[in-house]
Amino acid sequence: MYFTKLFLHTKQERFKIKFATKKLQKIGAVIVSYMKRNISIVGVPMWLGQTRYGTNLGPQSIRSAGLVERLKTVGKKVVDEGNLSIGIIGRFRQSGENIKNVKTLVDSSEKLAAKVSNIIQEGRFPLVLGGDHSIAMGTLAGVGKHFKNLGVIWYDAHADMNTPETSPSGNIHGMPLAASMGLGHSALTRIGGYRGKVKPEHIVLIGVRDIDKGEQLLIAEKNIKVYTANDVKRLGMEVVIAETLRYLSERCDGIHLSFDVDGIDPAEFPGVGTPVTNGLSYKESLQAVRLLSASEKLISAEFVEVNPLLDKDDTTARLTVNLIGALFGETAKSKSIQKSYKQRNSKAM
């Protein structure tokens, strides 16, 4: 109800937006886009941004589901740079502060920021595999060094805009977007050596449906663009992505996709630590990444919160590979996907 008023559209407006999408896709096909760059994969085996062990095994489960082969079969040049070494500092709570495991998260974020920055410097596309969503602080610190007006698409059930003052849990995976805007604990806001990786007006949230009180106030105060899961149901994903790309393309020189798989309904994506019902469907999400693949400004992407220990038959990991494949141009009918399935099946036999 909170956002309904802002995002209602007439039939005529929807038609206009659809037309704009088609135009955009056409443009995307001819302009040399960042999506044509070679890909560098970085795994971040992090789970201390929340309390459920297992997201640290996420990067490996996505690889085991065939990520690299699938990207190669759609003609991408891929270098898997392995997992970031994130040290062995254990869990602890800052005394007197509502924030957990700060030191470990800051150390690993600095490493990730340097790595991602280097990948962009070398003209490649960083594809970061989480790990819980706290890793976005490092990714954004790295990407943000290269873009004055970085746009961020935050695909998630949650807004991840808490600060130690507003957080109900003290878990840092609920804080990365606030920290990247320069809000919250100073240890987090100064990651990468500078404050403010993204401006509030350059953020679009998609799929949110579990927003804490403090986050609601922040969204309203900063006038942040939000499409709740219900907004997506009402408008259709095609319209949402077209509007998002139009909004960010007008304002930004590069766009980062931060894809939290808990944006998708847990009935289809069970392998997540903080599931929220009434989510986006897998089909809608596939459509979303396919439309995003047409954007010439997409500079980097991360897929986070896959927890193989909570997964059922590797469904979440396998479907995440489908989403990443689609982001890089794979279609359901493409020969590469058929071939890849065939190969995997024959190996199994």
Contact residues toward Mn ion (CB under 5 A) are 133, 156, 158, 160, 260
CA distance 59 to 131: 7
Which of 259/282 has CB closer to Mn ion?
Answer: 259
Annotated catalytic residue: which of 231, 238, 243, 262? 262
Cβ proximity to Mn ion, 130 vs 144, nearer residue: 130
Catalytic annotation present for 132: no
Q: Which is nearer to Mn ion, 198 or 242 (CB)?
A: 198
Measured CA to CA, the distance from residue 94 to residue 100 in angstroms comes to 6
CA distance 73 to 76: 7
Shortest Å distance, C-beta 160 to Mn ion: 5
Tell me the closest approach of the beta carbon of residue 34 to Mn ion, in angstroms: 23
The reply to whether 158 belongs to the active site is yes
Q: Active site includes 173?
A: yes
Q: 127: Cβ–Cβ under 8 A, 6 or more apart, which residues? A: 39, 40, 41, 42, 300, 301, 302, 303, 324
From 132, 231, 260, 265, active-site residue: 260
Q: How far is the CB of 139 from Mn ion (least distance, A)?
A: 12
The residue type at 265? D
Integer Cα distance of 181 and 183 in angstroms? 6
**Shortest distance, position 178 Cβ to Mn ion, whole Å:** 12
185 classed as catalytic: no
**Relative orientation angle of helices 237-251 and 11-30, to the nearest 10 degrees:** 60
Q: Identify whether 250 is a catalytic site residue.
A: no
Tell me how far, at minimum, the Cβ of 24 lies from Mn ion, in Å.
Answer: 27
User: Does the annotation count 133 as an active-site position?
Assistant: yes
DSSP 247-275: HHHHH-SEEEEEEEGGGB-TTT----SS-
The verdict on whether 256 is a catalytic residue reads no
- The single-letter code of the amino acid at 5 is K
Nearer to Mn ion, 158 or 202 (CB): 158
Residues present in the chain in total: 349
**Catalytic site residue from 122, 185, 201, 305:** 305
> Of the residues 160, 215, 243, 330, which is catalytic?
160
Q: How far is CA 217 from CA 4, 110, 348, in A?
A: 16, 29, 52
Two tokens at 278? 């009434």
Residue numbers annotated as active site:
133, 156, 158, 160, 173, 260, 262, 305
